[in-house]
Copies of this chain bind each other. A is one copy, B any other.
Amino acid sequence: MGNPKSIDDINAMDYEDFISHFGNVIENCSLIAAAVWRFRPFRDVVHLHEALCSFVDDLPVSGQEGILRSHPDLAGRVAAAGALTAESTLEQRSAGLSQLTAEERAELTNLNERYRGKFGFPFVVCARQNKKNSIFEGMHVRLNNSAEEEVAKGVQEVKKICYLRLLDLVVHEAIESKY
């Protein structure tokens, strides 16, 4: 994470600066930012986002599941250990997940386990666009989906998370919300 940079400054970055700035726009998957570096120069934040999304879309299902698995559980063990990435810490906090009652925490732990048990990857949602109630509801609903549906749904959420992280890192004109 860093201060927002202009697209010109970004296009002039050497690789180390680029990866230090954008390495975590997809959680714990710096390989994806490393891959799209070849597509510079980027016209704007939307172009950069499209390059990242296109790479994700072209991965086999195993790779898309790998991206989902690289995300922490919501209010899970990693969060409890204080070991979330800086970005996830802020996002989970913004959804109210850092202030759960004991009952809510127990329910979320249970839902996390059921979800992981069914699909083999964690529940991924764009926390900044949700509050804890909508997250709980979403987990109940999405637990009924097929694995195929949940890979697609999870990847869609990854792209939203990525876009909001990018908006924090790239100076941009007022742009229409993509999500």
Q: Which residues of A contact B (CB under 8 A)?
A: 15-16, 19, 28-39, 55, 58-60, 62-63, 65-67, 69-70, 77, 116, 120
Contacts and interface: CB of A to CB of B under 8 A. Distances in A.
A69 B22 CA distance: 14
A52 to B, nearest CB: 11
Q: How many monomers of this chain does the complex have?
A: 2
A66 B39 CA distance: 11
9 contacts: A15-B116, A29-B31, A36-B62, A37-B65, A37-B69, A37-B120, A38-B120, A39-B62, A55-B62
Given A38-B120, A120-B38, A31 B67 contact: yes
Contacts of A19: 69
Contacts of A60: 35, 55, 58
A27 B19 CA distance: 15
A38 B15 contact: no
Contacts of A67: 31, 34
Given A15-B69, A37-B66, A30 B28 contact: yes
Contacts of A59: 35, 59
Contacts of A36: 62, 66
A27 to B, nearest CB: 10
A24 to B, nearest CB: 12
A31 B62 contact: no
Contacts of A120: 15, 37-38
A33 B38 CA distance: 23
Given A16-B77, A19-B69, A36-B66, 16 more contacts: A15-B69, A15-B120, A28-B30, A31-B63, A31-B70, A32-B66, A34-B66, A34-B67, A34-B70, A35-B62, A35-B66, A37-B69, A37-B120, A38-B65, A38-B120, A55-B60
